[in-house]
Each structure stands twice: as structure tokens, then as C-alpha cells.
Amino acid sequence: MLTLENLSKHFGGVRAVDGVTLTIREGEIFGLIGPNGSGKSTTVNLITGLYTPTTGTVTLDGWDLTAMPQHARTSRGVARTFQNIRLFGNLTVAQNLWVAQNGHEQRREHFLSRWFKPGGEHGASVDELLQFSRLYSKRDVLAGNLSFGEMRRLEMARALASNPRVLLLDEPAAGASQEDGQLLAERIRAVRDRGVTVLLIEHMMELVMGITDRIAVLNFGQKIAEGTPREIQDDPQVRAAYLGSGHDEKMERASA
Amino acid sequence: MDPYLVSVLSNIGLFSFLALSAWILLLGGEISFGQQAYFAIGAYAAGIASAVWAWPFTAAVLWGAVLGAGIGALIAWPAARFTGVHYAIATLAFAELTRAALNVFHYQRDVDGYLTGPDGANGFGDIRWVYEAGIEPGPYLAVIATLLLAVIALIGLAARLDVMAQLRMVGEDPILAAMQGVRVLRWKIGAAAAAGGLAGLGGGLYAHFATYVEPAQFSVMTGVHAVAYGLIGGLGTALGPILGVLIDIGLLESLRALAAYRMIVFGGLVAIILILRPRGLLDETLVAKVRAWARR
């Protein structure tokens, strides 16, 4: 459903993303991994429209997103979270979700109906999202005054509020404990079960290997492998990328 | 009512329009040091309309507001692509340009045997519609207050329809706002138009209150004060900037004992409040708490 075709982004002489081709299928949890600086976040920024690609295209359900502005991609069903949490700190928890939904162009017809459900009586879908992310009791608190874990949950809820077809999670486990990681895995599965396709960018291997259906590996901006978690774990190129090439030879020399 | 009190209250009301104008832009994430230009445009446009063209007062003031909004949108169209310091400088440059243009703007026509209209740096007197219609300062204060209340009610309506929250989204994080489907540039231009219109409305009312305006009244300091009102009073509600005006004009300027030290005290106050309460006295946290409490 989400297809990247020969996607590249060059910053001067640096090829941050270099000819990546990927197809993510509807309803799967797809992992995108790679060492630091391999182009994962740049890829996300190309999909969401924060960057314009040097070459290549991004299509979702056959719609060419490549030249679309960000707000138009959102209404086509692309949503994301950020590696460093981004929320509207001076808006309440409910407003972070509620506004996000109504800022959505397809829902403009509801504009005047908001008069009848102001403040506390948010739409049913917002209430549901607040329950889903266990933030209902905090709905009138300013987002900037939440705890770190609550902010993470709110960020995912905020992304879901725009009713996406595909959700891009950029290192959602960053700063989370092992225990939080378990809860996060459940949460990501729950998102998938809502019918949202998930693209997961993550460093925590345990999480990625545990919940993804398929994985692609980037190194120096190029895709070096794609397959099931098992296939990826056994791939020699992936091992080389993570452990450093020449690893085996050095080991052999050392033991000789 | 005591004439001095009426004049102080009128000034508070008039500068509240300017403070709200700067406040709207602050919510949209921009600091403008140029809102006094729209105040001047409104004052001159409304003054010319009523004194030279003999338009009725309502039409003249409305014309000032419309012109302020239109020029605000026109300037924002390129300027909204700037952020932070660059935007502040762009607005400052525009305001100084406007003031310099008014200094050489001559548009005097014969009205009942007298030359009436803007006369460059000599200013623009005889904006006498209100006095000729026999409206005393007291009732005119009621006009100012009614219009100000109408504006606050309109902002309240906008808040209830979630318009203000979307503007705050654009102000806080335009990239995230765009991700959430908000058309950022459109909001920024809209905010600038609303801000220009508000300042223009205040300017038109001011010209008819003072009967005399001159370019020197619309200096940078006026614009800096307008921004400071919101920062002192608070960004959480429309009452914030008005509280800022009350503190400055109501307390510092009007208590005669303090008047000589006004600038010193005001500057110190801004510094202290920005340290202790970075988003003003009535900030978002306080407003959210009050709202949550009221809902109970």
C-alpha cells in the first residue's frame, strides 16, 4: 500500500538516502532498522513531506504523495510520531487530539457542530482515544505538564487522531525502560489491530524482532536486506553492517 | 463621571485593541513590533473618511478596520515566511516605513472653508465628527467599551469553535501543525489580517477620541508596549493583554506619583514577569486549571 520507488535524498555530497525501493503491505507491522546515520529518519521525513526527495516517488494506495504538502499527506492517511517527542505543550491533552482531528480537512463539515460539544464533551472518537492511551483522567491537563511516559502515549494518540492509514513510529522506545518496552509492544499491536499499518523505526532489537512481520535494513542510505525477522537475523550483510566489516577476518587472525 | 477618569478608561480601552492585535500574533508564534502601523493606518483612514470625505462615523471606523486588515494580510503574505527575529525586524521596518510615509503625506481639502486633512509631520487635526454630533466623552467611552466587549466575545466564540487552539498549534510548532493537517501559511496570514483589523479599528476610534493625530504618536515604543502588554498580562486568554494595559496605563501612567518613573517601573516589571512567569500572569496553565475547575 505504501511504496517507495528509487527514493533518494542528497544533502550536498552526502547521500542520506540513496535509491531505496520498498513496499509496505496493508495491515502489517514493518520494521526499518539500520546503524546510526543510515538514513532511517530521513526516509520518514521523505514520506511525511518534511523533506522533498532528490529523486524517486512515494505512493500510498496508488496516490502519488511526492509533491503533496504535509497537510495533504495527512488527509491521505499518513501520520507519524517523532524521535524527540513533539506535542503542543500549551494545549490540553484533549485539545492535542481534538484539534488535530478537526484540523483535518475532510472533517470541515463538522466545524459548526463543535459549538454543541465544547470543552469537556469531546467527540466520541477523542474519548475513545483518551481511553485507549490511558489518558482520560488527564484530559484537561496541559500536555507540557505530563510525565515522559504520558507524553509518549499522547503523541501516539495524537498521530492516531488524524485517522491515518499508515502510522510511522520514529524510535518510540527511546528513553523507555525494558518494562515500558513490553507495554509499547502491546500498544503497537493494538494500533495494528485498529486497522492501521505500522512502519516502525527502532533501535531496540528485541522490540523490532518481536513484533514486526517484515524488516528492511538500511546502511549508508541504501537498502541492504529485506525479509522476515528470522531472515534478517541470519543475513551476513546485516551482521557486517552492525558489527563492522572485516569482523570475521580479524577474529580469524586473532585466533590463528 | 470625573473627566480624568473617563479619559484614562478611554485610553485603556483604545490601547486594548492594539494589545489584542499584538497578542493574536504572539499566539500565532510571531513577535510583531509593527502593530502601531495598523493603528496609524486605521486612525488616518477613519479620520480622512469622516473629516474630509464627510462619511458617517460608523462607516469611517469600519473603513479603517478593513484597510488595516487588508494591509495586514498583504504584508503577511511575504512576511509570514519569516520566523522569529526576522519577522520582528520585517514588521518593525514596515512600521517605520509607514511612519516615514505619513510624515510626507499631505492630503488637505477645503471643508466648510477650512483646509482639513493630514499635513505631513504637522499632523492631522479637526477629526471632529464625534464632537459635532454632540457625543460627550462619557457616551464615547461606552462606544469604545461596547466594541471592545464585542471583540472579546468574538474571540471567545473563536475559542469555542477551536479556532484559537489551531492558531496556538501553528504558533507552537508549525511543522507539527502541518502534520496534523493545519494549513500553516493560511493561518498566519489570517492571524495577521485579524490583528491588522483590530489595530485599525482601535486606531479609528482613537483618532475620533483625540481629534488630532500625528506620525510621531505611532513610534516604535508604542509597538513595543503592545507586545509587552500580552507578555505581562498573559497569553492564556484575551483578558491577558487587557490586564497588561490596565497595569501600564491604569496603574503606572495614571497614578500621578508614579508617572515620572513609568518607563523604569514598566521595564522592570516586564523583566521580572518574564523570569517568574514566562507566559504572563494569566498563562495557559492557569487558564486550563480554571477551566477544569469550572467544569466540575
Q: Is A75 on the interface with B (CB under 8 A)?
A: yes
- Amino acid type, B3: P
Domain count, chain A: 2
Boundary (domain end) residue, out of A113, A136, A163: A163
One domain, residues A172 and A252:
yes
Find, among B116, B133, B95, B99, the residue nearest to B47 by Cα: B116
Q: Residue A99: what pLDDT?
A: 61
One domain, residues A99 and A71:
no
Nearest to B165 among A99, A115, A120 (CB): A99
Q: Residue A197: what pLDDT?
A: 96
Q: Do B168 and A88 touch (CB under 8 A)?
A: yes
One domain, residues A139 and A237:
no
Q: Residue A121: what pLDDT?
A: 41
3-state per-residue secondary structure call for chain A: CEEEEEEEEEECCEEEEEEEEEEECCCCEEEEECCCCCCHHHHHHHHHCCCCCCEEEEEECCEECCCCCHHHHHHHCEEECCCCCCCCCCCEHHHHHHHHHHCCHHHHHHCHHHHHCCCCCCCHHHHHHHHHCCCHHHCCCEHHHCCHHHHHHHHHHHHHHCCCCEEEEECCCCCCCHHHHHHHHHHHHHHHHCCCEEEEECCCHHHHHHHCCEEEEEECCEEEEEECHHHHHHCHHHHHHHHCCCHHHHHHHHHC
Does residue A60 lie in a domain region? yes
Q: Is B183 on the interface with A (CB under 8 A)?
A: yes
Q: Which domains does chain B have, with CATH numbers?
A: 3-295 (1.10.3470)
One domain, residues A21 and A58:
yes
Which of A78, A99, A155, A158 is most worth mutating to test chain B (most B CB atoms within 10 A of its CB)? A99
Q: Residue A114: what pLDDT?
A: 52
Nearest to B169 among A82, A99, A104 (CB): A99
Q: Which residues of B are less than 8 Å from A41 in CB distance?
A: none
State the Cα–Cα distance between residues A47 and A66, nearest whole angstrom.
Answer: 8
Q: Residue A131 CB: number of other CB atoms within 10 A? A: 11
Torsion angles phi and psi, residue A35, rounded to 5: -65, 170
Nearest to B179 among A70, A99, A120 (CB): A70
Does residue A54 lie in a domain region? yes
**Strand boundaries in B140-256, DSSP class E:** none
Boundary (domain end) residue, out of A163, A197, A218: A163
pLDDT digits (tens, 9 = 90+) for B142-152: 999 999 999 99
Q: Which residues of B are less than 8 Å from A141 in CB distance?
A: 288, 292
One domain, residues A69 and A139:
no
One domain, residues A110 and A184:
no
Q: Is A104 on the interface with B (CB under 8 A)?
A: yes
Does residue A205 lie in a domain region? yes
The residue with cell 538500511 is A218
Q: What cell numbers appear for A66 in the block?
A: 511526492
One domain, residues A94 and A65:
no
> At A252, which CATH number?
3.40.50.300
pLDDT digits (tens, 9 = 90+) for B8-39: 999 999 999 999 999 999 999 999 999 999 99
One domain, residues A176 and A253:
yes
* Average model confidence (pLDDT) across chain B: 93
Q: Is B295 on the interface with A (CB under 8 A)?
A: yes
Boundary (domain end) residue, out of A134, A163, A192: A163
3-state per-residue secondary structure call for A54-117: CEEEEEECCEECCCCCHHHHHHHCEEECCCCCCCCCCCEHHHHHHHHHHCCHHHHHHCHHHHHC
Mean pLDDT along residues B185-198: 96
Q: Residue A139: what pLDDT?
A: 87
Check pLDDT > 60 for residue B276: yes
Beta-ladder partners of A169? A200
Q: Residue A255: what pLDDT?
A: 53
Find the domain containing A117 and state its range.
Answer: 87-163
One domain, residues A177 and A214:
yes
Contact indicator for B199, B68 with CB cutoff of 8 Å: yes
* CA–centroid distance for B90 within its chain: 18
Residue B28, C-beta contacts closer than 8 angstroms, at least 6 positions apart: B167, B170, B171, B187, B188, B191, B192
Q: Residue B73 CB: number of other CB atoms within 10 A? A: 19
Closest residue in A to B163 (Cα–Cα): A99
Q: What interface predicted TM-score (ipTM) does this complex get? A: 0.82
One domain, residues A27 and A16:
yes
Residues in chain A with pLDDT values less than 70: 99-124, 244-256
Does residue A82 lie in a domain region? no
Q: Is B166 on the interface with A (CB under 8 A)?
A: yes
One domain, residues A101 and A207:
no
One domain, residues A231 and A250:
yes
pLDDT digits (tens, 9 = 90+) for B137-178: 999 999 999 999 999 999 999 988 878 888 999 999 998 998
Q: Residue B121 CB: number of other CB atoms within 10 A? A: 12
Q: Residue A100: what pLDDT?
A: 55
Q: Residue A115: what pLDDT?
A: 52
Q: What cell numbers appear for B19 in the block?
A: 494589545
**Distances, alpha carbon B123 to alpha carbons A243, B7, B79, B208, in Å:** 77, 21, 29, 14
Q: Residue A107: what pLDDT?
A: 46
